[in-house]
């Protein structure tokens, strides 16, 4: 339904000093701290885990060498969504507006809605990270104690008991990341790179990563996390996280969090011959997700 003059009554009256309610600053592109962006020209994208070889075996003198085989593991699928929003203005509302170009002002509001939705969609990957209702290619939640390995056994990318963000829990997370294995149980050289946190934890994170001495102790010890450069990317606040004590340690594992852009944001405008209404539309297609769960170690707080 088109926005008409009755909905914009004050904008049609002389003497109005200001219009407000849509010109706010906004948190933009916070997803870029988490996701690697790639383009796509398909309805969906798939990424398949390749399982390599295990440990080499001892070859006894005169015996044949033992052969190993490679295989495919799980497949992660990224299904692109179409995100769109539109509005229409009546011909009379545009003609009688006294203060501004209505289309230009509401187009800014349209862009704000599209940008906000994109950040909500991106953060949903982390907000649903602990839920078994939202599984990855390996059939379990992003953050789990039971990621199945092709060679047998499981991998955990969370503490055995959920804990709040503090010196001990962060050190344990860093150690756990450094002992992650591949699907044949060979240790990988991974490191924690960056903390992703809600705004409620920004002061805790800043003290943990930037204080020269140990936090919340009278001991005259150095801050080992800072001194050893263990989280080189520092921390990033994501204002769209819904759990105020969940925290996520991103690792340098390749092919982790992905953002596929199928169609970039585009806007269009057209007039309707019969009614004279002018319609405005914004549209884009994209997907957010993850392939390799080794890209993160996380806790939803105590």
Residues 218-241, buried b or exposed e (16+ Cβ, 10 A)?
Answer: eeeeebebbeeebbeeebbbbebb
pLDDT value at 177 more than 60: yes
Inside any domain, residue 239: yes
36 located within any domain: no
- What integer pLDDT is reported at residue 8 of this predicted model? 47
| pLDDT of the residue at 58 | 93
In terms of residue numbers, what domain contains 215? 80-299
The answer to whether position 189 is within a domain reads yes
Residue in the structure block whose two tokens are 């170009």? 101
For residues 252-279, average pLDDT: 91
Looking at the domain assignment, is residue 35 inside a domain? no
Instruction: Report if residue 4 sits inside a domain.
Output: no
Count of C-beta atoms within a 10 Å radius of residue 193: 17
Q: What is the tens place of the pLDDT at every residue in 56-80?
A: 999 999 999 999 888 889 999 999 9
For 224-239, how does the pLDDT look when each residue is reduced to its tens digit (9 = 90+)?
999 999 999 999 999 9
Does residue 122 fall inside a structural domain? yes
Structurally, how many domains does the chain consist of?
Answer: 1
Residue 72 lies in a domain: no
Q: What is the predicted pLDDT for the residue at 94?
A: 75
Confidence of residue 151 (pLDDT cuts 50, 70, 90): confident
E strand map for 134-209: 147-148, 154-155, 192-197
């Amino acid at each position: 339904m088109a926005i008409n003059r009755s909905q914009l009554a004050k904008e049609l009256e002389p003497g109005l000093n200001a219009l407000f309610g849509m010109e706010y600053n906004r948190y933009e592109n916070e997803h870029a701290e988490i996701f690697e962006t790639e383009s796509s020209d398909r309805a969906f994208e798939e990424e398949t885990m390749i399982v390599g070889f295990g440990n080499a075996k001892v070859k006894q003198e005169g015996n044949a060498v033992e052969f190993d085989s490679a295989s495919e593991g799980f497949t992660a699928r990224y299904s692109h969504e179409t995100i769109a929003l539109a509005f229409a203005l009546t011909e009379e509302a545009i003609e009688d507006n006294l203060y501004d170009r209505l289309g230009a002002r509401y187009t800014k509001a349209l862009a704000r809605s599209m940008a906000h939705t994109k950040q909500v969609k991106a953060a949903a990957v982390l907000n649903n990270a602990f839920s078994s209702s939202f599984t990855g290619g390996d059939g379990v939640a992003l953050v789990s104690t039971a990621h199945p390995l092709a060679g047998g056994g499981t991998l955990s990318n969370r503490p055995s008991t959920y804990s709040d963000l503090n010196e001990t829990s962060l050190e344990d997370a860093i150690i756990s990341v450094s002992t992650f294995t591949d699907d044949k149980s060979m240790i990988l050289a991974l490191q924690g790179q960056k903390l992703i946190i809600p705004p409620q934890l920004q002061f805790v994170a800043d003290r943990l990563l930037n204080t020269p001495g140990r936090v919340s102790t009278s001991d005259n010890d150095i801050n080992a996390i800072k001194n050893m450069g263990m989280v080189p990317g520092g921390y990033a606040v994501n204002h769209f996280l819904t759990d105020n004590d969940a925290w996520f340690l991103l690792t340098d594992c390749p092919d982790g969090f992905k953002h596929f852009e199928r169609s970039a944001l585009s806007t269009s405008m057209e007039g309707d011959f019969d009614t004279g209404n002018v319609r405005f539309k914004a549209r884009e297609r994209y997907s957010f997700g993850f392939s390799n769960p080794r890209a993160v170690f996380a806790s939803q707080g105590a």
